[in-house]
Amino acid sequence: MSKEISESELKVSKIKEGTVIDHVKAGTALIVLEMLGITGLEGTVATLSLNVPSKRQEKKDIVKIEDRVLERSEINQIALISPNATINEIKDFKVVNKFDVELPEVVSGFPKCINPKCITNAREPSMQTYYVKSIEPLKIRCKYCNTDMERNDVIKQLTKFQGLTQ
Ligand code: CTP
Ligand code: ZN
């Protein structure tokens, strides 16, 4: 498949209302869905494209979620594992707002600290706070126990990805 392949050739349909998360790091759309708490069972209408050709990156994922606008905290979570993603808000089939995700210097509320003895694992998870030391490759440092976490550590804190060895 050519990298210049058009979207119509990919047979991805446009959505009427909702959010398109574009330029998602290839292969990570399922992680994005879990971060957003989407299992499918709640009835959310979503379309995923995994590892499709892209002009900007060699390959990318696309996540289209109907009838949902993302919160800032959710966008920050996406930025942790896919720092080049673009958020497109769609109203009546038009892109009404487009912006790049941005990782703040401090992230809180997610993920769970990998240090089992960390105070944030004993108390309310909302305490979790990390200083972003590096975006790519990702390195975040727990404010409470100074443990550093990398991208894979973050991914492994999600229930579906616990067994990931890579
Ligand atoms: N999109 C959609 N439904 C719509 C409008 C747009 O699913 N009603 C999707 C497009 O398929 C694309 C993304 O939202 O994946 C951004 O749309 P658009 O800005 O039109 O595309 P590009 O100009 O290619 O975006 P960019 O420059 O950000 O790559
Ligand atoms: Zn900690």
CATH of the domain at 26: 3.30.70.140
Interatomic CA distance for residues 49 and 56, integer angstroms: 16
Q: How many domains does the chain have?
A: 2
Answer with the one of 67, 100, 133 that is the final residue of a domain. 100
Which pair of tokens denotes residue 120? 């944030």
Residue owning the nearest CA to atom 14 of ligand 1: 20
- Type of residue at 61: D
User: Is the domain of 36 the same as that of 94?
Assistant: yes
| 48-52 average pLDDT score | 96
Atom of ligand 1 nearest to the CA of 47: 7
Q: Is residue 90 part of a domain?
A: yes
Mean pLDDT of the chain: 90
Supply the pLDDT for residue 8. 55
Output the 3-class SS for 35-52.
HCCCCCCCCCCEEEEEEE
For residue 95, how far is its CA from the centre of ligand 1 (angstroms)? 7
User: Is the domain of 93 the same as that of 20?
Assistant: yes
| 128-154 average pLDDT score | 97
User: Is the domain of 113 the same as that of 96?
Assistant: no
For residue 124, how far is its CA from the centre of ligand 1 (angstroms)? 39
Measured in whole angstroms, how far is the alpha carbon of residue 154 from the centre of its chain? 11
- The CB of 93 under 6 Å from ligand 1? The reply is yes
- The CB of 19 under 6 Å from ligand 1? The reply is no
Give pTM, 2 decimals: 0.90
